[in-house]
Amino acid sequence: MKKNDVYKKIVLGILFVFPLLVYLFFASGKNNFAKLPILTSKIEVLPQNLIGDSPQLKDHITILGYWGGSLENKKAEALNLNEKIYKRFYQFDDFQFVFLVDSSRVAQVKELKNELKEGVGTDLSRWNFIYTSKEEINTHFASLKTPFSLDENQSAPFVFIIDKDRNLRGRNDDEDTGTLYGFDARSVAQINKKMIDDVKVILAEYRLALKIYNTQRNK
């Protein structure tokens, strides 16, 4: 057999096998390239920010958290989220972080943001803080309808993925909890093993929807 013929067979074999291997790889994952289930529909709109602009959930992919009046012990959680999630995804259109905090915690938020900027000078333009009342924080958190609860400072270590239509997204087939409503920001392992994947999934979902829309519009 001629050498050229051998090369042709090898190339044809690669062209046939490679797409099959790619398909099997993605089909083997639970969440890869599948929509994240909606766990709670139409959560409350964000309360009015008492200081500065008021970010919106509508038309944004949001990582939402509730820090209430408990900023002193949030540095580790903030660093985890900043390093693992924010720096990886903040340049995507419409992606944002939003945290609800007690209106008395302006100075602590400023200090925390300064610490996040140290060293590499992170662009924190998509870190948003809503300064509001304890009552508003409790009301908004309740609209998520999760099994979690806020502590006495209206704070929780969990963060949540909210889609552009104000729906809480998560997993309904999680191997550990069954239904995964939110991610424990204290756990680097959970962020690495689950949250990064789920943020990728929802970003891919919207990019695919935009691509389909543009294709149909240009026909």
Spatial separation of the C-alpha atoms in residues 60 and 126, rounded to whole Å: 11
Is 127 found in the same domain as 48? yes
93 and 130 share one domain:
yes
How is residue 113 written in tokens? 């943001």
Give mean pLDDT, residues 126-135.
Answer: 96
pLDDT at 120: 61
- pLDDT single digits (tens) 148-176: 999 999 999 999 999 999 999 999 999 99
Q: Is the pLDDT of residue 8 over 90?
A: no
Nearest by Cα to 148 from 176, 188, 182, 177 = 182
Instruction: Say if residue 8 is in the same domain as residue 72.
Output: no
Q: For the chain, give the percent of residues with pLDDT over 70.
A: 79
Residue 77 and residue 171 in one domain: yes
Instruction: Report which secondary-structure segment, H or E, holds 183.
Output: strand 183-184
Supply the pLDDT for residue 123: 87
Judge if 22 and 75 occupy the same domain.
Answer: no
Query: Residue 182 pLDDT more than 90?
Result: yes
- The whole-chain average pLDDT of the chain stands at 86
pLDDT digits 0-9 by tens, 209-219? 767 756 666 66
Q: Mean pLDDT throughout 44-54?
A: 95
Q: How many CB atoms are located within 10 Å of the residue 92 CB?
A: 14
Do 113 and 141 fall into the same domain? yes
**Structural domain total, the chain:** 2
Q: Residue length, the chain?
A: 219
Q: Is 77 exposed, middle or buried (0-12, 13-18, 19+ CB in 10 A)?
A: buried
To the nearest 5 percent, what fractions of the chain are helix, strand and coil?
40, 20, 40
Q: What is the pLDDT of residue 28?
A: 42
pLDDT score for 94:
93
Give the whole-angstrom CA distance, residue 196 versus residue 89. 9
84 pLDDT exceeds 50?
yes
Give the percent of the chain with pLDDT over 90: 68
Supply the pLDDT for residue 119: 60
Tell me how far apart the alpha carbons of residues 136 and 47 are, in angstroms, rounded to a whole number: 7
Q: Which residue has the higher pLDDT, 146 or 207?
A: 146
User: Could you give the CA distance from residue 62 to residue 13 in angstroms, rounded to a whole number?
Assistant: 44
Average pLDDT over residues 70-79: 92
Pairing of strands 168-169, 38-40: antiparallel
Cα-Cα end-to-end distance for the chain: 48
The span from the CA of 8 to the CA of 181, in Å, is 51
What number is the average pLDDT over the span 206-211?
Answer: 78
The pLDDT tens digits for 99-129 are: 999 999 999 999 999 988 886 667 899 999 9
- Is there a single domain that holds both residue 43 and residue 71? yes
Residue 129 makes CB contacts below 8 A (sequence gap 6+) with 98, 99, 100, 101, 109
Residues 117 and 209 in one domain: yes
pTM of the model: 0.82
195: domain CATH number is 3.40.30.10
Range of 83's domain? Answer: 38-217
Q: What is the pLDDT of residue 32?
A: 43
- The predicted pLDDT at position 149 comes to 97
Q: Hey, is 158 helix, strand or coil? A: strand
At 35, is the pLDDT very low, low, confident or very high (cuts 50, 70, 90)?
confident
